[in-house]
A and B are shown apart, each in its own frame.
Chain A
Amino acid sequence: MQSFQEIIFKLKQYWADRGCIIQEPYDVEVGAGTMCPETFLRVLGPQPYRVAYVQPSRRPADGRYGDNPNRLYKHSQLQVILKPSPDDIMEQYLASLEAIGIDLRQHDIKFEEDNWEAPTLGAWGIGWQVMLDGLEITQFTYFQQCGGIDLDLVPAELTYGLERLTAFLQVKDSVYDIEWAKGFSYGDVRHREELQYSVYNFEMADIPTLWKLFGLHEGEAARLLGAYDPKSPDKRRFPILPAYDHVLKCSNLFNTLDSRGAISVTERVGVIQRVRKLAVGVAQAWLDQQLVQQEVAL
């Protein structure tokens, strides 16, 4: 039986062999691997890029105190970006499943329409959820827009749900029974975290404090974006990436406040708009900066 970590190793190796840079998880809380700069920013502009990384994705509202066998506050995605998408991307993807021991001749695979959209990022794409014997194992998306900007090269984004895939391969009914490494179950490694974060997110997170933090991060991101000067000869130095970290903080705080039931009707749409505005601002500034770097390189 392949352990959770062995499956991850194999997938990383598979995509490294196909020209992907293997990144480590981004060190700011995100709701999905797409939000990491390695995806959100790298897909912008005309430069080809290939990257794969495992990203722990936090969704406070999905926490279940470690009681539910299928739901997690934090799950792991393997995020693969191929920019531009190769013509045989489907074949490459299917072969990646074979690489982790899924004999496709014996299984039923379907590509069912599922278009991905992230309003807080001004991002959307066209694609499918990939069903393996009735189980959704991957989200497959051709990105079209990010930060409200049409993409020059259309990247393919593959997002593997690693816990599900592993539970499938290990024939486990509960995610907590997955073997992470020999002698250690997923529950051994992560159960306490699921429990404590559920308690925090649903019961103990201090709402005024979170709002204050939200305001601070929003203010810092906005301050930086406001100071960015596209005409400055020195703009390459400008800290757009740190500004984006603050946007990510806002997004996670928003999700936590939401799970805490602290976002009222009138606030909700407005708050999403505020985060989106910052994300779009970062995308535009980053693209502007990237174009200059190209000119310098020429």
Chain B
Amino acid sequence: MSLPFLFEIGVEEIPDWMIPDALENLRLLFEKLEIPYESVTLDATPRRLVLRAEGLPARQADSQERVLGPAKSAPAQAVEGFARKQGVKPEDLAIEATPKGEYYSYVRKVPGRLTKDILAAALPGIILQIYFPKTMYWTGKNGPRFIRPIRWIVTVLGEEIVPFELAGVRSGASTSGHRRLGAKEIAVTPADYVARLRDHHVILSAEERRNRIRDGLAGVRVKPDPALLETLVYLTEYPTPIMGSFDPQFLELPEEVLITVMRHHQKYFSVEDAQGKLAPQFVAVMNIDADPEGIVRRGNERVLRARFNDARFFWETDQKKKLADRLPDLAHVTFQAKLGSYRAKTRRMMALVKELGGKTPAVRAARLSKCDLSTELVKEFTELQGVVGGLYARAQGERAEVWQAIYDHYKPESMEDAIPRNLAGRHVSLADKLDTLRGCFRVGMIPTGSRDPFGLRRAAQGVVRILVEGKIAVPLLDLLEGNQQLIAFFEDRVKFYFKEHRGFKYDEVNAAMAAGWSNLVDLEARLVRIQKLRPTPDFEPLAASFKRIRNILVQAGFTGGGAIDQSLLEPGPELELYEEFTKIAGQPIESVISKLRPRVDLFFDKVLVNAPDAGVRQNRLTLLHTLLAEFSTIADFSEIVTNS
């Protein structure tokens, strides 16, 4: 018999961003039970995590168990006793030969456990094992922990309740509807569950909620915001978008500020006009079916007006004190307890900008870069740090190069984000990030595993991207204060960047980096060359030969030095290789590889490096070493993984 299974954990509102991972976790935990099923579906709203499966067996398959009894030579009494214990007659027993002799045995049928029993035993543990980043207890100290209090549990297999109790909640067949539009208790079966929820204003499917929001946005020029859309999908059980508007006078404020208020603080979509400029409108998503009298719309409009008024107040107040005059205030703003204030950080950044080759505008931008930390607007909207400084600098007449550099200096904030738009911004951003990295590593605040509270990985990744994509050819290693941990940290970031972000093969990256990686612009250029060389017919054989050369040199313990003695070169392949080499030395490998490769092949074919005569041997090693050194400035080709 094949049964449907409905499992719903009813919870107080779960943080939206945790829900998709929790569902995936629930799926894995269910699969681990190894109960066969035909299909499984997972769904969630803020108040429920739901697993529905089809085609579960009512019980597990029967199995057999062989029970060994007394030896064949045992007294009849013992044999009867064994048979009785198994519930059979002695004549039903079999005789089995074992290495120890012949024994009575009986093959017992073990009926499969009821699926219901397995679930009843396992589900409480499964619920508590679902991973959440931060959990709580609510029934009292030492009580169960979950993301939020569990208020009901539905577990129906076929037509039966799978009974268990957790945190004082008995599992049953009764769910709960939308907080305001549905009933508190609704009897459900696996067959009518989704429809019953819908009757009570809960749309179970995230996809359907997403579409409902999208449909509501149709015809409105909404700024696309997939992340906000996901947030709203998991923040609502019955989402309904409504359109509101605000006084166009607020459009005098920078768009960045208005959008941040709408998006981060109010979770509204912002709207554009036909020219792509911000329109005095917004879309809010309610967790209710309709707003026939416009009450919710007017409420949201008032909240937004208050927020915008705040922002305007801050904007105007902040203008009363110029950015430059705020510098002394930074002495009171902590950068990090062990690393001093932002005033001190600013000084270090200015020095670093100069060290990086930054010109006057970059130094000016560095000087003003952190001054917005003392403004009201940034205290209110911390996510706008940098941007606000840039806007104020522009309003206060700083030249474009300077205000743009301040505006951009936290960029790139992710792998997808752009790097600062001008050179001054790149210099300031580099100085900021390098200063943070150097300081944190110096005082031992080094990321471990998934713990990276200061975002040092992102900072280092930003440094790498700016250096490469901004074509800033400074020696990175000279900027790392000889801190070995920091150097290793950067080495990982550089590898990650070229492999994962730029798609170079791992051995190409290893080969190119083995020839040096301090100058990342140069490294990138070499990687591009290797990538182009790689498909050419001579490349892999030559790389294999270079690996062979490397091994020979290592085995011989040869570390170079000395000049090639031409008189010791044997005419034939050895001399020809030498002559070819002297002709092509100094030329790029791309133009010589086709000439070099046959000479090297022939050399290895015909010449014994390990010659009996010590002088000849030494000379051959020198020849090979020179050859390797000449072409290893682009990459250590012995790192290339070849098939040959």
In the bound complex, what is the Cα–Cα distance between A156 and B383 (angstroms)? 31
Contact with B along A84-113 (1 / 0, CB 8 A): 110100110010000000001111111111
Q: Judge whether B179 and A94 touch: CB under 8 Å.
A: yes
Q: A107-B295, A142-B138, A269-B337 are in contact. Are A126 and B148 (CB under 8 A)?
A: yes
Question: What are the nearest 6 A-B pairs in CB distance?
Answer: A133-B299, A113-B15, A111-B13, A108-B286, A126-B136, A134-B300
Q: Judge whether A108 and B296 touch: CB under 8 Å.
A: yes
Q: Judge whether B303 and A112 touch: CB under 8 Å.
A: no
In the bound complex, what is the Cα–Cα distance between A263 and B333 (angstroms)? 9
CB-defined contacts of A126 to chain B, threshold 8 Å: 134, 136, 148
B313 interfacial contact with A, CB 8 Å: yes
CB-defined contacts of A142 to chain B, threshold 8 Å: 136, 138, 149
In the bound complex, what is the Cα–Cα distance between A71 and B16 (angstroms)? 29
CB-defined contacts of B296 to chain A, threshold 8 Å: 106-108, 133
Known: A150-B141, A266-B337. 16 other contacts (CB 8 A): A87-B151, A90-B12, A105-B180, A107-B296, A108-B284, A109-B179, A134-B284, A142-B136, A142-B149, A144-B136, A154-B143, A168-B302, A173-B309, A265-B335, A265-B340, A269-B337
In the bound complex, what is the Cα–Cα distance between A132 and B298 (angstroms)? 12
In the bound complex, what is the Cα–Cα distance between A134 and B244 (angstroms)? 12
B454 interfacial contact with A, CB 8 Å: no
B589 interfacial contact with A, CB 8 Å: no
Q: In residues 124-158 of chain A, which contact B (Cβ within 8 Å)? A: 125-126, 128, 132-135, 142, 144, 150-154
Contact with A along B170-193 (1 / 0, CB 8 A): 000000000111001000000000
Q: Judge whether B313 and A68 touch: CB under 8 Å.
A: yes
Q: In residues 155-204 of chain A, which contact B (Cβ within 8 Å)? A: 168, 171, 173
CB-defined contacts of B141 to chain A, threshold 8 Å: 150-153
Q: In residues 134-161 of chain B, which contact A (Cβ within 8 Å)? A: 134, 136-141, 143, 148-149, 151
Residue tally, chain A, CB below 8 Å to B: 47
In the bound complex, what is the Cα–Cα distance between A105 and B303 (angstroms)? 20
Q: A113-B15, A154-B140, A269-B337 are in contact. Are A133 and B303 (CB under 8 A)?
A: yes
CB distance from B350 to the nearest CB of A (A): 19
A115 interfacial contact with B, CB 8 Å: yes
A230 interfacial contact with B, CB 8 Å: no
In the bound complex, what is the Cα–Cα distance between A240 and B337 (angstroms)? 32
CB-defined contacts of A128 to chain B, threshold 8 Å: 13
A294 interfacial contact with B, CB 8 Å: no
Q: Judge whether A112 and B235 touch: CB under 8 Å.
A: yes
CB distance from B133 to the nearest CB of A (A): 11
- Which residue in B139, B293, B303, B329 is a CB contact (below 8 Å) of A261? B329
In the bound complex, what is the Cα–Cα distance between A171 and B305 (angstroms)? 12
Q: Judge whether A173 and B306 touch: CB under 8 Å.
A: yes
In the bound complex, what is the Cα–Cα distance between A151 and B143 (angstroms)? 11
A residues with a Cβ closer than 8 A to B are 64, 67-71, 84-85, 87, 90-91, 94, 104-113, 115, 125-126, 128, 132-135, 142, 144, 150-154, 168, 171, 173, 261, 263-266, 268-269
Contact with A along B41-82 (1 / 0, CB 8 A): 000001000000000000000000000000000000000000
CB distance from A25 to the nearest CB of B (A): 26
In the bound complex, what is the Cα–Cα distance between A12 and B215 (angstroms)? 43
Contact with A along B349-392 (1 / 0, CB 8 A): 00000000000000000000000000000000000000000000
Q: A265-B333, A269-B337 are in contact. Are A71 and B310 (CB under 8 A)?
A: yes
In the bound complex, what is the Cα–Cα distance between A170 and B136 (angstroms)? 37
Which of A68, A85, A265 neighbours the largest number of chain B CB atoms within 10 Å of its CB? Answer: A265
Q: In residues 309-361 of chain B, which contact A (Cβ within 8 Å)? A: 309-310, 313, 329, 331-335, 337, 340-341
In the bound complex, what is the Cα–Cα distance between A193 and B134 (angstroms)? 41
Q: Judge whether B303 and A134 touch: CB under 8 Å.
A: yes
- Which residue in B140, B180, B299, B306 is a CB contact (below 8 Å) of A69? B306
Q: Judge whether B309 and A106 touch: CB under 8 Å.
A: no
CB distance from A117 to the nearest CB of B (A): 11
CB-defined contacts of B329 to chain A, threshold 8 Å: 261
11 intermolecular pairs with C-beta atoms under 8 Å apart: A67-B313, A68-B310, A70-B310, A107-B295, A109-B179, A112-B235, A115-B134, A152-B141, A154-B137, A154-B138, A263-B332
CB-defined contacts of B333 to chain A, threshold 8 Å: 265
Q: Judge whether B12 and A111 touch: CB under 8 Å.
A: yes
Q: Judge whether B334 and A265 touch: CB under 8 Å.
A: yes
B23 interfacial contact with A, CB 8 Å: no
B304 interfacial contact with A, CB 8 Å: yes
CB-defined contacts of B310 to chain A, threshold 8 Å: 68, 70-71
In the bound complex, what is the Cα–Cα distance between A105 and B293 (angstroms)? 12
B266 interfacial contact with A, CB 8 Å: yes
CB distance from B554 to the nearest CB of A (A): 53
B287 interfacial contact with A, CB 8 Å: yes
